Structure 1
Amino acid sequence: MPVEFLTDEQAEAYGTFAEVPTRPELERFFFLDDDDRDLIALRRTDAHRLGMALQICTVRYVGRFLGEDPLAVPWEAVEYLAGQLGIADASCVKRYPERRSTVYEHAAEIQERFKYRDFTDRRWGRDLDAAVAQLRAEGHDIKDEDIARLSPLKDRHINFLGRYLFNIKASGPGQGLRPLRDPDASNEDDAEEE
C-alpha cells in the first residue's frame, strides 16, 4: 500500500531551492574544486562558465539538474560562484539558457564527467538490493517495511529532491560492488568537514 511521507509543501518544493543556501552550505556544495574548474574552463563565455558552474553545484545541492529553468537558483549562489570564477558581472548568466540545447548538453557532460547515475536506474537498484542482502547476512535486523521507505535523504551527495544522481567513481561498471562502510570505523570525510 503506497504511503505518503511528504507534505504538500515538501512535494511542491521537490527538486528546487526551497530556501537560500546558508553560508556553510554554499561553502560545502558550491565550492569549485580543480575537477569542476577544469570542466568549466572549457567554456568560451562567462555566461557559459557561470551556467556550467551553476549546474554542477545545483545537482550537488538539490540532487538534480533544473533542466527547463537552470536559473531557478538563489542569487546568492550565483554571486558566490561568480566570485570564485572571477566574473565581475554575475548577471551575464541570464544569457546562459538562450540556446536551450546548451543547458542539456552541459548537463549530459557533467553527468558523464563526474559519473553521476540516475538513482532510479535498475542496475543501481540491484546494487541497493545487494547492499541490503549483505547487511542482513551480517546479522543486521533490516525490516521489509523499512526497505519500502528507503529514500536517499540529504547526505553529502544524495538528496531526497527530484531525480537522484550520485557519483560512482569508486565502483563503476565491471568493478563490482564496493565494500560497505564500517559504521565503527572513523570516517575521514566527517573529520574534514568539522
Structure 2
Amino acid sequence: MLTCAGSEYFGKFETEGITTLKQLGFILDTNRCLGCGACVNACQLNNRLPAPLTYRSVRQVDEQDPEGIRKFYLSVACNHCANPECLRVCPNGAYAKRRDGIVIHIPSKCTGCKSCVSSCPFNVPKIHPLTGKASKCQLCHERIDQGLSPYCVKACPTDALRMIQIRDLPSEKLIRLTAPLPGLRLTNPSVYYLTPRRVKIRGIQ
C-alpha cells in the first residue's frame, strides 16, 4: 500500500504517513456522452491552461458490429491510479497520493526531469510550456475538500461524467476498457466506463 506525503496539498485531510483509506475515481456513461467537449473546455478554462496543454480530452471510437459501425465517445484524463507509476518513479517526491486516492503533483518539488512523462502508461503527465515542469489533472482537489464536484463533472450537460467512490461501483454493469491500456494491471486506474448499448467492446483505436 502506498503511503501519503506532501500534506500541504491535502486540505482538511491529515495524511502524513497515513495509507490510502478510499479511492475516488470517475465513471463515464458512454450512452450519455455527446462528445461535446464541455468537460475539456471547463478544465482548460478553470485551470488556466495555456494551449496546447490539456488535462482532459474526448476521443471518438468507431466500433464495428453486425448492424454496422457504431460511434461513441470517451472523455479521458488522469486515472488517479491505485498504484500510480508517476509516484513510484519520480526521483524528487513530486507526486503524492491523498487518503481519498487522488494523485497530486507538487510543482515545488518538480525539476522537469520527465521521468513521469516517460513512465505513465496512459501518457497523462505533460510538460507545462511556461514552467518546464510536469503538469496533470489534480481532480480539482480544492473543490473536493469543499464538497464540490470537479469542473469537468459540473460542466457535463448530460451527467455522463461522474465522480464516484470505487468501492460503491455496481461492478456487474461496468467494464474497464483495456485496449490499448498496457498499464491496467500495473497501475490499477480508477476510471470506469458504462459500455454502449448493444456494442461489444474489443478495443480502442
Q: TM-score range by the shorter chain?
A: 0.3 to 0.5
Q: Which has the higher contact order (CA 8 A, sep 6+)?
A: 2
Indicate the structure with greater strand content: 2
- Bigger radius of gyration among the two: 1
Indicate the structure with greater helix content: 1
TM-score (norm 2): 0.33
